[in-house]
Amino acid sequence: MKLITAFLFCYSLATIAQNSYTISGTIDSEGSSLPYANVYIENTKKGTTTNDTGHFKIKNITPGNYTLIASFVGFNTVKKKIIVTNKNVSLNFNLEPNEHLTEIVITGTLKAVSRLESAVPVEVYSPTFLKKNPTPNVFEALQNVNGVRPQLNCNVCNTGDIHINGLEGPYTLVLIDGMPIVSGLSTVYGLSGIPNSLIEQIEIIKGPASSLYGSEAVGGLINVITKLPENAPIVFADTYANDWGEINADMGFKTKVGKKATLLFGTNYFNYSNPIDNNNDNFTDLTLQNRISVFQKWNFNRKNKKKTALAGRYFYEDRWGGELQWNKNYRGGSEIYGESIYTSRYELLGNYELPISEKMNFQFSYSDHDQNSVYGDTPYSAKQRIGFGQLSWDKPLKNHDLLVGVAGRYNYYNDNTAATVKPDKIVIPSLFIQDEITLTKKQKLLLGLRYDYDKRHGAIITPRLAYRFKPTDDDIIRLNAGTGFRVVNLFTEEHAALTGSRDVIIKETLNPEQSYNVNINYLKKIYTKKAMQFTLDASAWYTHFTNAIIPDYDTNPNQIIYDNLEGFSTSLGSSLNLDAIFGSGIKGSVGVTFQEVNQTENNIKTRQILTEKFTGTWALSYKNYKTNLTLDYTGNLYGPMRLPILGSLDPRKEFSPTWSIQNIQLTFDKFDNLEFYSGVKNLLNWTPNRNNPFVIARANDPFDKDVVFDSNGNAQVTTDNPYGLTFDPTYVYAPNQGRRFFFGARYTLK
């Protein structure tokens, strides 16, 4: 019996060996081998990676017809069909570098064009970029974009805005799917409510874009483009937590509703409820937050294939920061200091392509923002409603691509401050025209003009010119010039004007700001014989502002004075980005920006406050295909910036040091549809209290009860107040949140 069993076992092994086949081969690119490239059999779990010389071998294959897929970061994926009839079958792959700059962009010209063909330089950031340093909101996600800096404006409530090329947050327009619904109040708080998992890409323009987008697009704009329902995963979830107690969760799904509609649903939830005071000033280092955002996007199929889409978002947030013993019973009182903000907001936006032979598109959006907040014992309640509609006509002609449009914007704003005697209601009609002219195969010229009418300021005209020269397939030179304008509402933009820590002085009726800008951009692609790919992107710019409104913190340390600058302000600088893809599984980018932002009044030049002279960013990734591990190292470096101190006796440093926030992450993606990630944020544990006696002035007396003032309202030096200071939380240039460890998981079913 044992002999029979042994014979059957040996016979089975021999049969398996006879039916065991092998597929082998190489993967290369332009004559160079690609080590650690992926190769697998479609619809199976059989696969491997190439060795150091680019060779692969897949064993234990049964005879049959198969499709092999070869892929590698930075290269186009290739599929090949193969029939396995012999024991050893050979198959070789040649991968071409991925033309990653051929993304479709919309923001630069209001129409979908190849990024390489756009006369306006547009930077594109994909979900892969966001995953390198996972964050609970778009605001933090932009910290590793060269020339873009999320700026915190308050140590207590941690609200902030986004600076582009050194310009303050109100000069940046934020769009969602091309619609200007994130502005004013929502720029301060609304950026924290867009689920990252729903983002298709983020497009950034540095420089004025008012000829297409009107007010606020003075320094640049950020367009957050959400996923199309048909392109989104069936189910997706992304959640993580850290040792500070922060919890973030994105989740959603898509589904067909009937035969003509596709729904994309997503939600984001963020919670932080763990008061921490590592700098020992009795104030929370990080604002406590409880936030939820719900998003829906509908796409409708029409017989004529014309576009129809409708999307909506609801956002609610409860955030507070302040003295550790604060609770809601102290809200609005003068016993324990706290800054508490309740925000409720909903948005609706749509896109409808008219059912006619001409390409005409109607877009609309509406947002309603309700904010109930207190800053110590200073209440600030505000409502803002923005309605927007735009009809555009895209008319291609021989050597011309015309875009003509008419738009209307309704703004409603009301708050409880003395500056708002009655609600501000305004309707701003607009007309714009743009002509993209093909001069030659290598040259394009874009001309644009916009007309806006604001009854408070009259007609505002903003022209635009863009020129693109493409001497070779791998070189692009772009020259852009234009003007921008901004109609100002201080109390929706300046957090410092709301805290109550300084008196607000408005000297005169504020006129619209005007800017004049010119910038030049050079882009170079380089491909090497060793399957490496480089992209060099260099820019230089100059912007001149008239009627600039810059808060004056210096004339009186207890006041913020606003008026139109009797002079001018300028922003000039240059930036350089280098992206690289190597055949060894390494991918990286590094960027650096140098800038000078100054204001000149009465022939006296002053450096703009809270503006760095240089900044650097980097993101390095290494994928080890054998272990299914990816290592991401991201970071930024900021040069010194002038800070808002409270006079000559203030012991806090007038200029920040050079500082850096660095992060590292490890991702494991062996399992289908599922990946795990973990890492450390702020590796260097950098916080602004380092080498400073304190960050918040008079944190022990936030209501200035023990401050002695003279007849002019100036704080006096006393035994209890040796520096003559008042309570001030605006001395902030970096997050107070130190090193933290995080762990998360993502699930995606496509």
3-state secondary structure of 76: coil
- Determine the straight-line distance between the first and last CA of the chain, rounded to whole angstroms: 53
Query: Of all helices (H) and strands (E), which one includes residue 665?
Result: strand 659-668
Residue 695 has which token pair? 């960050």
Q: Which residues of 263-280 are buried (b: 16+ CB within 10 A; e: fewer)?
A: ebbbbbbbbbeebbeebe
Do the strands 261-272 and 288-300 form a parallel or antiparallel pair, or are they unpaired?
antiparallel
C-alpha 448: how far from its chain's center? 27
Q: Is 617 helix (H, G, I), strand (E, B) or coil?
A: strand
Distance of CA 156 to the CA centre of its chain: 23
Do 245 and 266 meet the contact criterion of CB atoms below 8 Å apart? Answer: no
Find tokens 């002219």 and name the residue: 437
Beta bridge partners of 713: none
User: For the whole model, what pTM was predicted?
Assistant: 0.84
DSSP string, 417-456: STT-SS-EEEEEEEEEEEEEEE-SSSEEEEEEEEEEEETT
- Overall size of the chain counted in residues: 750
Per DSSP (E only), the strands in 227-276 are 235-242, 247-257, 261-272
Q: How many CB atoms lie within 10 A of CB 563?
A: 17
pLDDT at 33: 73
Q: What pLDDT shows up at residue 515? A: 83
Structure confidence at residue 190 (pLDDT): 57
| Residue 448, number of CB atoms within 10 A of its CB | 23
Concatenate the DSSP letters of all residues of 337-355 into one string: -EEEEEEEEEEEEEEEE-S
* Predicted local confidence at residue 176, as pLDDT: 86
Q: Phi-psi bin for 207: left (phi > 0), alpha (psi -120 to 50), beta? A: left
CA–CA distances in Å: residue 40 to residues 126, 399, 748:
26, 46, 20
DSSP 8-state class, residue 317: E
426, 456 contact by CB (below 8 A): yes
Nearest to 415 by CA among 346, 491, 349: 491
User: Could you give all domains of the chain from N- to C-terminal order, each with its CATH number?
Assistant: 2-94 (2.60.40.10), 101-225 (2.170.130.10), 226-749 (2.40.170.20)
C-alpha–C-alpha distance, residues 619 and 576, integer Å: 14
Please give the Cα distance from 425 to 411 (Å, whole number): 6
What element of type H or E holds 69? Answer: strand 64-71
CA dist list (Å): 490 to 428, 465, 614:
19, 31, 28
Q: β-strands 503-506, 559-562: how paired?
A: parallel
CA distance 74 to 491: 46
Query: DSSP letter at 623?
Result: E
Look at residue 196 and give its three-state secondary structure: helix
> Tens digit of pLDDT for each residue in 337-389?
999 999 999 999 999 999 999 999 999 999 999 989 999 998 888 898 989 99
Listed in sequence order, the residues at least 6 apart from 427 whose beta carbon sits closer than 8 Å to its beta carbon are 408, 409, 410, 411
Residues with pLDDT less than 70, the chain: 1-19, 30-32, 52, 73-74, 97-111, 182-193, 210, 215, 418-419, 488-510, 529-531, 550-560, 562-565, 583-584
pLDDT of res. 110? 67
CA-to-CA distance for 282 and 727, rounded, in angstroms? 14
Q: Residue 211 in contact with residue 248, Cβ under 8 Å?
A: no
Mind listing the pLDDT tens digit for each residue in 564-599? 667 788 999 999 999 998 866 788 999 999 999 998
Residue-by-residue DSSP string for 99-111: -GGG-EE-TTTTS
Q: What whole-number distance in Å separates Cα of residue 414 and Cα of residue 420?
A: 7
Cross-strand bridge partners of residue 543: 517, 571
Q: How far apart are the C-alpha atoms of 94 and 83, rounded to whole Å?
A: 19
Amino acid letter, residue 49: T
Contact 505, 551 (CB under 8 A): no
